[in-house]
Copies of this chain bind each other. A is one copy, B any other.
Amino acid sequence: MATIKDVAREAGVSVGTVSKVINNIPVKPATKAMVENAIKKLNYEPDVYARGFKMNRTNSVAVILPTIWNPFFSELAYNIEKNLSSFGMKMILCNSEDNQSSELEYITMAKQNKVDGIIAITYSDIDKYVSTNIPIISIDRYFSDSITYVSSDNLTGGKLAAEELVKSGCKNIAYIGRGSKINNATRNRKKGFVGYCEENNISYKVCDSLGSSKEFDSILNNFLIDNFKNNIKIDGIFTITDEYARDVIKRLREFNIKVPDDVQIIGYDGSRSSAKDTIEISTIRQPIELIAKESVSSLIDLIDKKEVEKEIVLPVKFIKGYTTK
């Protein structure tokens, strides 16, 4: 394969001049033409990796997710990659599985300029490692006033879920979802739900916990026994995600509770497992495409040292599925 030296020899110029042409640094038009002809003739492909090394750009972005094996995260990653690709950038994908050390590894990569920036959804406690020195966009997670985060309008989403349940005739509604100890924007889903109920004097219950998923499993089980086993005390449920909604539906089947006849359920996310899939559960849909687009364009602004809004909150909407009347 032709090297930059071959091109220089062919064009009768120095390697430095070829490098200038490749990197769009002005040279005499005649010189430029000679170099371009030599590049064409020799079918020379400038090594972008080497250029990235020299210019301190890799044109790659690390995307850290709990796991790509999940409809919401795979739809999000699909859209992030499409957006990055339109800017000529590559996506390095990391399944953190909430493992702090693998998240820190990618933060170190960004500090060492091995990636240009990071888009992260993380639930672990990495605050002290994240600084404004590295371009980072956080999805659904508030770090500090100096780090941009992008999220759906969780507060309105929680309100909307309560409102829709009430509109469909529910009188006794509940919120179900495991919380997170860190300052996660998804907390606002519960806040919006509870706020709506209190403002409108709606009777509500809350089933949540900041503990492990194992702990929450038994809390949820007891909650469902209390409210459904002997008689039905709840007629509407809002779950923190669609995944929780599916889980609750499965558990209620064991008590012979019918959805939506006995209890109506609204989830949150509205992701589909593929583009061909349809939304089956009534849900508050996150604008996944828009979250991806805003995350990528804000990250590129950060990499280019431009000013970026610190909080980007994007609108949600209710989508009716089979789980509400």
**Known contacts A78-B95, A93-B81; A243/B47 CB under 8 A:** no
| B91 & A92 in contact (Cβ 8 Å cutoff) | yes
Interface locus among A67-75, A120-128, A197-205, A316-324: A67-75
Listed A/B pairs (11) with beta-carbon separation below 8 Å = A45-B111, A45-B112, A48-B109, A48-B114, A67-B275, A68-B81, A69-B274, A73-B74, A81-B93, A91-B94, A92-B93
A69 contact from B48, B58, B78, Cβ within 8 A = B78
Q: How far is the CA of A168 from the CA of B69 in the complex (A)?
A: 33
| Chain B contacts for A108, CB-based, 8 A | 45
Decide yes or no whether A90 CB sits under 8 A from chain B: yes
| B78 & A68 in contact (Cβ 8 Å cutoff) | yes
- Interface size class for chain A? 35 or more
The A74-92 residues at the B interface (CB cut-off 8 A) are 74-75, 77-78, 81-82, 85, 90-92
Q: How far is the CA of A68 from the CA of B80 in the complex (A)?
A: 11
Decide yes or no whether A31 CB sits under 8 A from chain B: no
| B70 & A95 in contact (Cβ 8 Å cutoff) | no
| A74 & B70 in contact (Cβ 8 Å cutoff) | yes
A163 to chain B, nearest CB (A): 29
Q: How far is the CA of A50 from the CA of B53 in the complex (A)?
A: 7
| Chain B contacts for A75, CB-based, 8 A | 69
Sample of 11 more A-B contacts, CB < 8 Å, known A50-B53, A67-B78: A45-B111, A47-B112, A48-B109, A48-B112, A67-B275, A68-B77, A68-B81, A73-B74, A82-B95, A90-B94, A92-B93
| B273 & A70 in contact (Cβ 8 Å cutoff) | yes
Decide yes or no whether A49 CB sits under 8 A from chain B: yes
A49-75 vs B, CB cutoff 8 Å, 1 = contact: the mask equals 110010000101000000111110111
Q: How far is the CA of A74 from the CA of B102 in the complex (A)?
A: 19
A49 contact from B74, B90, B93, B114, Cβ within 8 A = B114
| Chain B contacts for A71, CB-based, 8 A | 71, 273-274
